[in-house]
DNA sequence: GTCTATACTTTGATAGAC
DNA sequence: GTCTATCAAAGTATAGAC
């Protein structure tokens, strides 16, 4: 084994950890497993992360960044806020099948203790998402944008759960049409 | 004092196990913990259940029975299928805050191996729920009942997830109104 | 000095024996 | 119920390769 200088050790560790956490859950994955997957030494991991809790928190932060990228992608994929909401649903729908659902939601459920940092980080994420969706809904012509934002959030939460369990042939199949109908019903048609 | 045969031993064990599994998750709870909670001997547990897997399967079956009772309660609480769907949403909404979400969904995520009995039992449950909701939707005047059933399922899945994380002040707050609007939009108004 | 690899400690898991 | 066997977890320490 040649000695590899690794400036990106942290990222490589997080790559391996995230993959295993996503597939099996945090509690089901041991540090040993992550190290074996990496092919690196134990010391390196414990030098980058104080312990498993720190690793989990970093994993969750990475997940929130992934979400922010998904949101940004949806914003870039359409020009009107109505279509941007639809694009967001489409993006979530595309990535749920074959997964265990939302990583943040699953990890939140794995750490029910409200004092645990993993619980707090994921909770803050979901509060932030709710605000993001309400903000986006406020840019539509909806007379009750908060209501629209909340309804979209409910669809997204349902999409993660349903798509993971039942796959692309489940109830999640037509979530995009569902969201479109909801947005149409909640917004004022543009004058022409 | 004659030793009572305790015919309800199985139920008492399941009571204790279900409470702990619901609060902390299956992987996070040890057999020892369940035994301590029961205050009874270990051999009793292992006489009723072959091992933890068997206990988890029984727990999931109990959860599906709980769901069937919830559904039956909703059917009994209203006279039209449209209102019965709304009652179902209301029932789910009432029980999600303060929990870790849907027990079946959470346990499903804890056992990603498709060959594991816990995975199979929960998967069958969700397939059955989809059919139950479609069946109920077929009794409404909806021209596309399968679509209505699937949309209701998406709302229910979202409700479990969102209500557990954000509580009764989250996006789940007005799920009942949401469902009512969806049902109204999907059904043909009754002639009068 | 930086990395890998292994040995070790403590703790807690399932499960069986008595 | 207690006691024990077996195993794996988190984390620490250390030995050795470059």
Radius of gyration (C-alpha) of chain A in whole angstroms: 19
Q: How far is the CA of A148 from the C1' of C13 (A)?
A: 47
Tell me if B164 sits within 8 A of B109, measured CB to CB. Answer: no
Please count the residues of chain A: 192
In this prediction, residue B40 carries a pLDDT of: 82
In this prediction, residue A33 carries a pLDDT of: 96
**Cα–Cα distance for residue pair A58/A52, rounded to 1 Å:** 10
A49 nearest nucleotide via C1' and CA: D11
| pLDDT tier at A95, thresholds 50, 70, 90 | very high
In terms of domains, do A151 and A84 share one?
A: yes
In terms of domains, do B105 and B168 share one?
A: yes
Distance from CA of B31 to the nearest CA of A (A): 16
In terms of domains, do A170 and A101 share one?
A: yes
In this prediction, residue B141 carries a pLDDT of: 97
In this prediction, residue A2 carries a pLDDT of: 46
pLDDT tens, position by position, B16-42? 999 999 999 999 999 999 999 888 888
Residue B147 inside a domain? The answer is: yes
Higher-pLDDT residue of A40, B91:
B91
Q: Which chain C positions come under 7 Å from a protein C-beta?
A: 1-7, 12-18
| pLDDT tier at A1, thresholds 50, 70, 90 | very low
In terms of domains, do B89 and B180 share one?
A: yes
> Of A93-97, A106-110, B6-10, which range is least confident?
B6-10
Q: What is the pTM of this model?
A: 0.95
Check whether B106 has a pLDDT greater than 50: yes
In the structure encoding, which two tokens stand for residue A129, read together?
A: 């998402």
Q: Which residues of chain B lie closer than 8 angstroms to A159, CB-CB?
A: 154, 157-158
Among residues of chain B, what percentage have pLDDT more than 90? 88
**Cα–Cα distance for residue pair A51/A47, rounded to 1 Å:** 9
In this prediction, residue B146 carries a pLDDT of: 98
Check whether A28 has a pLDDT greater than 90: yes
Higher-pLDDT residue of A165, A2:
A165
In terms of domains, do A74 and A98 share one?
A: yes
> Tell me, what CATH number does A159's domain have?
1.10.357.10
Residue A143 inside a domain? The answer is: yes
User: Residue B4 sits in which domain range?
Assistant: 1-49
Residue A192 inside a domain? The answer is: no
Residue B44 inside a domain? The answer is: yes
Q: What does the mean pLDDT of chain A come to? A: 95
Residue A54 inside a domain? The answer is: no
**Cα–Cα distance for residue pair B115/B21, rounded to 1 Å:** 21
> Tell me, what CATH number does A31's domain have?
1.10.10
**Cα–Cα distance for residue pair B147/A29, rounded to 1 Å:** 38
| pLDDT tier at A6, thresholds 50, 70, 90 | low
Alpha helix segments (H runs only) across chain A: 9-24, 31-38, 42-48, 52-77, 81-95, 103-110, 117-138, 145-166, 175-186
| pLDDT tier at B1, thresholds 50, 70, 90 | very low
pLDDT tens, position by position, A141-175? 999 999 999 999 999 999 999 999 999 999 999 99
**Cα–Cα distance for residue pair B150/B106, rounded to 1 Å:** 20
Q: Which residues of chain A lie closer than 8 angstroms to B102, CB-CB?
A: 161
Residue B134 inside a domain? The answer is: yes
């Amino acid at each position: 084994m040649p000695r590899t200088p690794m400036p990106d050790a942290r990222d490589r560790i997080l790559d391996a950890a995230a993959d295993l956490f996503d597939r099996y859950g945090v509690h089901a994955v041991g540090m040993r497993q992550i190290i074996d997957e990496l092919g690196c030494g134990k010391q390196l991991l414990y030098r980058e992360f104080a312990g498993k809790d720190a690793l989990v928190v970093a994993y969750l932060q990475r997940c929130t960044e992934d979400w922010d990228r998904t949101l940004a992608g949806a914003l870039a994929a359409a020009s009107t806020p109505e279509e941007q909401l639809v694009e967001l649903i489409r993006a979530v729908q595309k990535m749920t099948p074959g997964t265990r659902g939302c990583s943040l939601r699953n990890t939140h459920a794995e750490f029910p203790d409200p004092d645990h940092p993993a619980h707090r980080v994921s909770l803050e994420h979901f509060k932030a998402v709710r605000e993001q969706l309400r903000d986006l809904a406020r840019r539509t012509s909806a007379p009750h944008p908060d209501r629209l934002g909340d309804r979209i959030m409910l669809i997204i939460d349902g999409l993660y759960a349903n798509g993971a369990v039942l796959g692309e042939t489940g109830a999640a199949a037509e979530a995009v049409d569902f969201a479109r109908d909801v947005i149409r019903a909640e917004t004022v048609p543009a004058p022409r």
